[in-house]
A and B are shown apart, each in its own frame.
Chain A
Amino acid sequence: MTVRWRWVWVLLGVMGLSTGCWDQRTVASRAVVLAVAVDPGPRPGVWAWTFDLPRVTALSSSTISSIVSANAYFSLTVLSGSYADALLKAQERVARDLYFGQMRILALSTQLPTAAWIHVVDTFNRTGLVRKTFYVVAAPNAAALFKAPLSADSEPSFLLQKLFTADSQPYVFKEQAWKIWDDIVTPGITAVVPVVEVTPQQTIVVNQLAVLSSPRVALWPRPVAAGWAYLTGHVTKATWTLSDQSVRGIGMTLIRGKARWTIRRRGRQVEVSGTLTYRGILEEYPQRLGWEPSRLHHIERIVADGIVKAGLRTLKMAEADHIDPFGWHRNLLWQEGQENVLRPLETVSWQGWHVRFAVRVSVLGQGDSR
């Protein structure tokens, strides 16, 4: 019996040790970071770190339905040259332990140099206690994203997250932090990040793509960004309004599809060939036009031509900037087993590259009426 009791004590001791008591904090002494924004500071080498936090004590199950954004959340800005220092300063200011297990958004200013972007993304990726699935967004003024008095939602960082998770966007520009980091450390691919802007009407829109080219982040306007989305299959529910004379005003909606690319080296040349397959539905098709196959083919062709044009525009942009946001250089390096030829973020050469792609658009249906 005594031996058995001894083991009971040992087991109790083990249980006591395995709970990780050292890391235990009450909810009131933790500050749950929902989002972090990094902006350029007043002088070089100093950045403004903004932490978006909920007032835990103001939130309870009875008040959660009637949260007023003005007092349930607050953001805190500290100036610092490093993440560790910023963390410490912020913790001192809120008198709480910062907790990153619920982090949703990392917003980085487009005015920061690319090196700063990489530093911040890498730091957040390296820190083990930060989850890796938050979204990275770019903004002209990152901290302003959390201060927008939005009517639609109680909290800007919630809205930002929903912007990406609710599939409300035509193009999938969202990328989780670990993928951005992965693209940053892999040679032959340029990471792209959606640019989120607050409009004068206090809504949040995604119109541009930030391309992490060196030394500064390049901004791609919406048409070019759309071309990137079509070329890489990042389209979820685009629409296309036809302006051709015979079919003016008809809209093709719910366009979605995929892109397949093969990359082959032929001597000094590299041949890239792709097939983009997109399908859509004609929602506003007027009855008077009839439903002949030839007319449908005509519409399909117009949309396909539009996609080709958008794609070519994007390719030209990538060539001019010496970047590869499609990852084709990376794929070629892997195919040839030469990962060490390029360094991460190095500009790529498009010399000798021939890109050829075909677009297939098909009309799936025309809605309920005929």
Chain B
Amino acid sequence: MSDQQERPIGVFQYVTMVAVAVWTGQMYTWPLPLVEVAGSNGFPVLGLGILYMVVSGLVHQAWLRESGQSSALARIGTAALAVSGMILVLVMDAALLSIFGNMLNVVFYAMTPRWALVMPMVGLAAWISIQPLVTIARLAQLWIPLVVGLSYLTVLAGINHIRFWSAVSVGGIHWTGILPESRAMAGILIPFVPMMLLLAPQVNASRQRVRRGDYGLWIVIMGVLTSFYIVGLTVLGPEAIDHLRWPMVYLFATITFGGSFFISRVGVITVFFWSILMILSMIVHVRALMTIWPWRSAEAARPWIAAVWGLWMLGGSLFVFSPGQTYAWMINVFHPWLVVYLAVELVVAMVGVGVAWALRWVGRRRADEAP
């Protein structure tokens, strides 16, 4: 691995990078999957997602600690877990970029062809992704607090729009359908483990601080998703969300500051800034993938990886996924498979941790028995 050549990143940078990698693609459609798939059962499904993230996070923390990146076998194990997840993430990225380009087309640039909207984004992402990791970390460190803060400010400005507190107190909990409904959270959860496995070793801090950063990260990721879900429900109501393609974008479009000329439509600014997050999340995904490049001349290989990735993203978002059907395909076909993958991956990681524990125990026994 080429870890030695990279300049390490800080804990906060790590947190923002994983956060953007997990959220961004989802934010445009959030909380539509939850409302559409889970209906009034949204909060239990959200809770299940949070539970999975915490359990999976703890297991993979244990894996990173136990494997210690020492043996070749451990490194191959980490790479296998990360790469299998990343393949799914890259498929999803192309689909999400297709949806995003369509959103820009529908809401902002009606006449501009989709390739002209998508190509600069992919080009920019490919270019930045060949830069050192710390450069990207600094971008994330700057933009994530800014955009998330601005989003919250925008949402706060719309607080007088809140009309439906009763929408939050929806129904009883239905445990029976919760497993098929959990696919609403699969898209959010899929980049989480690969990002953690790939980026945590790049952090220049004690393991304890990284772990504390992880806890903060989980709270932030789920806090934003939960609060936006609640805002969506209380402002628009579940039925309206179900009728919309980009509920958060719509929500921001409803917020105006009547008389003020300069910031009369602050939501538009927020949506524009989200484009930056979209690019940033693509960058983090592909750049994290580059950290497992097994060759010594990783730096020379990066442009090639970026080029292949860029071609896939362009081809995938423009030709493979049509914006009209992509969302339905993701929810009905792709996400159920993601749920299966997430379950299998967690079991494999648990077995891996168990084996690593056992090997260490055996090793210690041998060392004790040795004369």
Tell me the A residues contacting B by CB distance below 8 Å. Answer: 7, 10-11, 13-15, 17-18, 20-23, 128-129, 131-133, 165, 176, 178-179, 181-182, 185-187, 263, 330-331, 334-339, 344
Instruction: Find out whether the CB atom of A182 lies under 8 angstroms from the CB atom of B123.
Output: no
Provide the bound-state CA to CA distance between A129 and B238, in Å: 24
Cβ of A10 and Cβ of B123 under 8 Å apart?
yes
With a cutoff of 8 Å between Cβ atoms, the chain B residues found around residue A337 in the complex are: 39-41, 170-172, 174
Task: Give the contacting residue for B124; candidates A14, A23, A132, A330; CB below 8 A.
Answer: A14
Contacts of B363 in A (CB 8 A): none
Contact: B123 with A334, CB < 8 Å? no
Q: In the assembled complex, which residues on chain A have CB atoms less than 8 Å from the CB atom of B167? A: 334
* Interface-centre pick from B110, B161, B166, B238 (highest chain A CB count, 10 A): B166
Binds A, one of B251-259, B312-320, B325-333, B348-356: B251-259
* Residues on the B chain within 8 Å of A15, using CB: 120
A335:B170 contact, CB within 8 angstroms: yes
User: Once the chains bind, are B107 and A129 in contact (CB under 8 Å)?
Assistant: yes
Chain B: minimal CB distance from A252 (Å): 26
- In B104-122, the 8 Å CB interface with A consists of 106-113, 116-117, 119-120
B250 touches A (CB below 8 Å):
yes
Mask: chain B, 232-249; 1 = CB below 8 Å from A; 0 = not: 000011111001000000
Name 15 extra pairs, CB < 8 A, besides A22-B112, A186-B240.
Answer: A7-B127, A11-B127, A14-B124, A15-B120, A17-B116, A17-B120, A21-B112, A23-B112, A132-B250, A185-B240, A186-B239, A330-B166, A334-B237, A338-B171, A339-B40
Residue from B40, B41, B108, B161 whose CB has the most chain A CB atoms within 10 Å: B40
Q: How many A-B residue pairs have CB under 8 A?
A: 97
A155 nearest CB across to chain B (Å): 17
Q: Which 6 A-B pairs have the closest CB atoms?
A: A337-B171, A128-B106, A337-B40, A22-B112, A128-B107, A22-B111
Cβ B120 vs Cβ A339 within 8 A: no
Residue-by-residue, is B131-169 near A (CB-CB < 8 Å gives 1, otherwise 0)?
000000000000000000000000000000101101101
* A132 close to B238 (CB less than 8 A): no
Q: Chain B 18-47, CB within 8 Å of chain A: the 1/0 string?
A: 000000000000000000000111000000
Selected contact of B169 from candidates A10, A20, A165, A334, CB within 8 Å = A334
Tell me whether chain B's interface is mostly helix, strand or loop, or mixed.
helix
CB pair B111 A334 closer than 8 Å? no
Pull 28 A–B residue pairs with CB atoms less than 8 Å apart, ordered by A.
A7-B127, A17-B119, A18-B120, A20-B112, A21-B112, A22-B109, A22-B111, A22-B113, A23-B111, A128-B110, A129-B107, A131-B265, A132-B254, A179-B163, A181-B240, A182-B240, A186-B239, A186-B240, A187-B239, A263-B166, A334-B40, A334-B237, A335-B169, A335-B170, A337-B170, A337-B172, A339-B40, A339-B239
Query: Which listed residue, A176, A182, A263, touches B237 by the CB 8 Å rule?
Result: A182
Residues of B within 8 A of A21 (CB): 112
Q: Which residue of B lies closest to A25 (CB)?
A: B111
Contacts of A185 in B (CB 8 A): 239-240, 243
Question: Main SS of chain A's interface residues?
Answer: helix
Determine whether the beta carbon of A335 is less than 8 Å from that of B240: no
- B interface residue count range (under 10 / 10 to 19 / 20 to 34 / 35 or more): 35 or more
Q: Is A23 a contact partner of B110 (Cβ separation < 8 A)?
A: yes
Q: Given A132-B254, A335-B169, does the pair A186, B237 have CB atoms closer than 8 Å?
A: yes
Alpha-carbon gap, A126 to B107, bound state (A): 10
- Name the B residues within 8 Å of A334 (CB-CB): 40, 164, 166-167, 169-171, 237-238
Cα distance, A336 to B117, chains bound together (Å): 44
Minimum CB–CB distance for B53 against chain A, Å: 25
B253 adjacent to A132 (CB under 8 Å): yes
Min CB distance A27 to B, Å, is 17
A23 near B109 with CB under 8 A, answer yes
How distant is the Cα of A345 from the Cα of B247 in the complex, in angstroms?
22
User: What A residues does B171 contact at CB under 8 A?
Assistant: 334-338
Closest to A176 in B: B254
How long is the Cα–Cα vector from A187 to B172 in the complex, in angstroms? 19
Q: Is A14 within 8 A of B120, CB to CB? A: yes
Q: Closest A-chain residue to B122, C-beta based?
A: A14
A133 touches B256 (CB 8 A): yes
> Please, how many angstroms separate the alpha-carbon atoms of A335 and B165 in the complex?
10
Of all chain B residues, which has the CB nearest A186?
B239
Within the complex, the shortest CB–CB distance from A138 to chain B, in Å, comes to 21
The answer on a CB contact under 8 Å between A20 and B109 is yes
Residue from B39, B107, B123 with most neighbouring chain A CB atoms (10 Å): B123
Task: Give bound CA distance, A344 to B242, whole Å.
Answer: 13
Is B110 touching A165 in the complex (CB atoms < 8 A)? Answer: no
**Bound Cα distance A186, B163 (Å):** 13
List CB contacts (< 8 Å) of B192-246 with chain A: 236-240, 243
The interface residues of chain B lying within 8 Å CB-to-CB of A263 are: 166
